[in-house]
Structure 1
Amino acid sequence: MTALIDADRLLDVLETETTLLAASAAAADGDRPVPGCPGLTVDETARHVGSVYRMALTWIRTGTRPTRWQRQPRDGEPVDHYLRDGLRMLLGELEARPPDAPCATWSPTDQTYGFWRRRMAHEATVHRVDVQAAAGGDITPVPRDVAVDGVDEVLTLWFTHRLAVLGVSGTRATTVAVRTAGYAWLAEVATDRTLAAPAPLLAAESAAATVTAPPQELYLWLWGRSAVFSSAVTREGDLDALTQLWALLRLATR
């Protein structure tokens, strides 16, 4: 699974988005609920990201899925400091190896450092939007190239692979085309599997339904942040196919 943007760009995104997330969390009421993550607050979301960074770092260093890592800030440590410190350690590890160097991951098709560059960049981006949405102020736009790559990641990694790990598939066979900015993917659902891959625009036209939106809006919609940008997403065709895609994505990305 290859990212659609440069691997060094992903490191820049990881650093920029996490820094913005930390600053947004520090400036907001930490108890504000996060609409994109029901049940979580601003502080809990920032803490979650800091914990994920430490989990990823432990996985990279040990070569196996970890069961223990520092999941919480130390007593008296502000959550934004915990997040920034996690970023510092993770960036140091990722910058020390080329993106194509072998590395343990949870993707069967990408066992490289590049996987973690991409995955952590999108982890930071989506949750930064969450925290800014919870704070109620302006939401910093997601760069176009980041959003397009994020659409590809959520479809080819989460929808395709994560659902297989969970043992989840569809209730009936169908296809949905997902389109943005001249790119297209065909999401196929069967009763025994799910699969999404880039597709020519003409091939995507034969799908039972279509989802179309600008890159940022489509990216966040696929991640279930419909309360933020759903009005810009156009859905056409078989309603059951669209409903099934939405439901499967919610299971894949929860």
Structure 2
Amino acid sequence: MLEAIDVHADGLKRAALAAGPAAPVHNCPKWTVHDLVTHIAFVHAFAVGLAVNRPAKPSPPSGWDDVLGWWDGQRLALREALAKAPEAPAFSPYPGFAVTVGDWTRRMAHETAIHRLDAESALEEGPGTRFSPAFANDGIDEFLTYLAPRLGKTGDVRITTPERTWTIGGPGAEVSGAADDVYRALWGRPHRASVTGDLAPLAAP
């Protein structure tokens, strides 16, 4: 997962530089690429404090070149903060839920991957990234069993990929397809998964 953070952050940055700061992010209509980069830089910086049990609210610089450079520094700090033993306790912003360094590593891997798709949506050719079944299935599992409960999101859903099945609650929404597409569907990104029923109760933040 540490490697995944680097891989997807690099991909996000390549797309951001190619699109330019003023380009609209089609996956997130209220954002420009500048907004997206500022967001992921903030998230990475915030996660540094959480991983070392010293939470603080970062203040990214406003200029395009400045925020790119600041993000590079925060990525290095994040890698160092997450290099501790995965089972080491970390700060939890979720009341009643313990969190480890490994949990934050996994969370940042998937946060960065999804926002890589957003950066690529600003390119004329659109997103070209396809996630491996192993990574996408892990992302589905992280969303359903880790993130959604901690955010207080509940719903009845059955999720099916060629490799795995998740059933939460009783009959309700059903999502099926390639793991990559189901992963995108849960995060509200363009996909080719089959969706029946209402996924709104589990909608990604």
Taking structure 2 as the reference length, the TM-score comes to 0.88
In 2, Cα distance between the equivalents of 1:247 and 1:208? 11
Question: Is the CA contact 1:176–1:209 (under 8 Å) kept in the aligned structure 2?
Answer: yes
Q: CA deviation at 1:45?
A: 0.5
Q: Aligned to 2:89, what secondary structure does the other structure show?
A: coil
Correspondence for 2:5 among 11, 14, 22: 14
In 2, Cα distance between the equivalents of 1:43 and 1:181? 37
Q: How does 1:17-96 map to 2 (within 5 A)?
A: 17-61=8-52, 63=53, 65-66=55-56, 68-70=57-59, 72-73=60-61, 77-95=65-83
Question: Is the CA contact 1:179–1:213 (under 8 Å) kept in the aligned structure 2?
Answer: yes
- What residue number does 2:194 align with? 234
- What residue number does 1:153 align with? 142
Pair 1:50–1:213, CA change in 2 (3 A)? same
Is 1:185 matched up with 2:166? yes
Question: Is the CA contact 2:97–2:150 (under 8 Å) kept in the aligned structure 1?
Answer: no
Is 1:247 matched up with 2:200? yes
Q: CA deviation at 1:234?
A: 1.5
- What residue number does 2:92 align with? 105
- What residue number does 1:204 align with? none
| Residues 155-190 of structure 1: per-residue CA shift (max 9 Å, x gap) | 1123222126xxxx66xxxx321111221111227x
Pair 1:186–1:111, CA change in 2 (3 A)? same
Question: Is the CA contact 1:22–1:84 (under 8 Å) kept in the aligned structure 2?
Answer: no
Structure 1 segments unaligned to the other structure (5+ residues) = 1-9, 190-206, 237-241
Q: How does 1:160-239 map to 2 (within 5 A)?
A: 160-163=149-152, 175-188=156-169, 207-225=171-189, 228-229=190-191, 232-236=192-196
- Alignment coverage as a number of residue pairs: 203
Question: Is the CA contact 2:51–2:82 (under 8 Å) kept in the aligned structure 1?
Answer: no
Q: Which amino acid aligns with 2:194?
A: T
In 2, Cα distance between the equivalents of 1:112 and 1:129? 26
User: How high is the sequence identity, in percent, across the aligned residues?
Assistant: 27
- What residue number does 1:118 align with? 106
